[in-house]
Amino acid sequence: MVYLQRSSFVATGLLLFVLFTIVTSASNENEQSIGHSDSFRNFQEHFWAEFKHFERKMESEVVKLKMKVDLLEAKILEQEHLLKECKTCSNIKKKSENKMPLKYDVIDYSQNIKKQSLLAPKTCLEALTEDPSLESGMFLIDPDGQGRGDDPIYVYCNMTTGSSSVLHDSEDSIEVSHCFDPGCYSRQIKYNATLRQITMLSELSNECRQAIEVDCYDAAFEFNGIAYAWWNDRNGDPRYFWSGKDNNSTSHYHTCQCGLEGSCVDKSLSCNCDSDLAMDLSDKGVVTDKDLLPLTKLNFGRTIAPTSVKRHKLGRMECNGKVVLDGMPTSCEDLWRVGYILSGIYSVKGSSNKVETVYCDFSKLPGDEGLQTWIGFADLKSEPVYFNVERNTSYNILNETMPFEWETLNVGNAFNLTSGVFTAPRPGTYFFAFSSFPETQYYDRTNSCYILYTVKLVSGDEVKVSLKQGSISSALFTGVLLAEDIFQS
């Protein structure tokens, strides 16, 4: 009996496996029946004259258009020439403080709409990275990529930090009207950008934030277990936390900054305003949940009392930094975030420690269906591993690793012929097959041994064969790395 063993496991036994002109024919008939009528002939002549006139007119239009095209072409050449000159002289001009309109400067944009969409960077940070001499101000950026998706958006760029801020219509302190029911006061926030552009800005940024300040006097967010106030996130879902991030709980999550710090007026509550006291209170917070921003609607209630006051002041949605990929890209979204724009077949780090081949359609954006199409696993091996070893002399030593006499293949040098030990050089799934024949005098097919085994190994695992009883006349041992766990070592 022969055993195939891997570190601690022992496979016993005799396992047997069977391993796409107007057609004139119809009008000819008409011509035959009414063809000799004078009126028809007059009509024909008239029509013909009109047609000639039209033809001359078109010809002159075509000539005019050709001239225009020539003129435009000449202008483009001139522009290109100027641009080249500008590239070579820009450094000198800057040094001599000769302030030219800067590449992304607003002044430049207002002169020519086409030019601006050609040059709009994805984020303020990208603009700053390209031209560190830029000063803070309003800029056109195009987070969803130039020349596609929505039109570029007009944002405030802080060129000290490279942050991009999206402006809206509710930045001032606005007083909530008097009403009682939960959410009876509701204000839609109008951003000077499409939600899609804002979402793409947050996808490209490392962090996004939006400050909210609520002043209150006898007007709680929540009272006696009833939520009178909430905001709606980018998907329109209600949210009850006024600072920080969502805490991932499925239950109603309500807090303010003071609740996070444990510094609320009433320590048993999570917002100052919740104390419902006839006293000037305030809750200031910064919502930092990038995936929920921006706040799209503010809803308040419980302000019916003539004396109750509530004011809200919502900050701009500000995004900072560049999203940093944590290791290798795992999806088309990751590739989009780091700047890939050409659709095609890409390899990404898939789950299960294998390289996966995916098709990325970059005419789509993150969150769109069809951005990524899974194709399959890439059959990659950092090194090939397979061996085939044999022996043909009598062997009867029990319980010891069987050595082999010659190898026909030993790619990867993982099998040590003299010691009989196979050491897995890489983690992955391996396949082994062993067969042996007993000594001739006891020859009997049923005594022949076949072991087939597919097993997952980690680097350093050993696989060896030993005899438990009897003796053998010849043996063959073969193994192959079927699939490597590429991202494990």
Query: Nearer Cβ to ligand NAG, position 247 or 454?
Result: 247
Q: Which among 102, 74, 13, 5 is positioned nearest to 447, based on CA atoms?
A: 13
- C-alpha–C-alpha distance, residues 360 and 343, integer Å: 5
What element of type H or E holds 407? Answer: strand 406-411
Contact status, residue 306 vs residue 178, Cβ threshold 8 Å: yes
Question: Do 404 and 465 form a contact (C-beta atoms < 8 A)?
Answer: no
Rounded to a whole number of angstroms, the minimum distance from the CB of residue 474 to ligand NAG is 7
- How far is residue 284's CA from residue 259's CA, in Å, rounded to a whole number? 11
- Does residue 272 come out as left (phi exceeding 0), alpha (psi in the -120 to 50 range) or beta? alpha
434 in Cβ contact with 465 (< 8 Å): yes
Q: Whole-number minimum distance, CB 302 to ligand NAG, in Å?
A: 20
- CB-nearer residue toward ligand NAG: 4 or 486: 4
Name the nearest CA neighbour of 310 among 422, 397, 219, 395: 219
Edge-first strand order for the sheet with 472-484 is: 406-411, 386-391, 472-484, 428-438, 449-457
CB of 255 to ligand NAG, least distance (A): 6
Nearer Cβ to ligand NAG, position 361 or 407? 407
Torsion over CA of 237, 238, 240 and 242, rounded to 10 degrees? 70
Minimum separation from the CB atom of position 374 to ligand NAG (A): 22
CB-based burial of residue 22 (10 Å sphere; 0-12 exposed, 13-18 middle, 19+ buried)?
Answer: exposed
Nearer to ligand NAG by C-beta: 134 or 176? 134
Closest CA to 258 of 275, 246, 236: 275
Instruction: Find the DSSP H helices in 324-447.
Output: 332-337
* Contacts of residue 192, Cβ cutoff 8 Å, sequence gap at least 6: 153, 154, 155, 166, 167, 168
Least distance CB 215 / ligand NAG (angstroms): 23
Q: How far is the CB of 103 from ligand NAG (least distance, A)?
A: 18
Of 279 and 398, the one with the shorter C-beta distance to ligand NAG is 398
Q: Which residues bind ligand NAG (CB under 6 A)?
A: 136, 153-154, 158, 160-161, 167, 192, 245, 247-249, 251, 253-255, 392, 398-399, 416, 418-419
| Closest CB 236 distance from ligand NAG, rounded Å | 20
C-beta separation of 267 from 310 below 8 A: no
Tokens of 377: 């696993």
Minimum CB–partner distance for residue 124 and ligand NAG (Å): 11
- Nearer Cβ to ligand NAG (91/248): 248
CA 292 vs CA 155, 233, 238, 452: distances in Å: 20, 5, 10, 53
For residues 462 and 485, which CB has a smaller minimum distance to ligand NAG in the complex? 462
Nearest residue (CB) to ligand NAG, 119 versus 153: 153
> What's the closest the beta carbon of residue 303 comes to ligand NAG, in angstroms?
24
Spatial distance between the Cα atoms of 60 and 69, rounded to a whole number of angstroms: 14
CB of 406 vs ligand NAG, minimal distance in Å: 6
* Least Cβ distance, residue 166 to ligand NAG (angstroms): 10
Report DSSP letters for 249-297, one per residue: -SS--EE-HHHHHT--SSTTSS-SGGG--SSEEEEEEEE--TTTPSP-E
The smaller minimum CB distance to ligand NAG, of residues 303 and 416, is found at 416
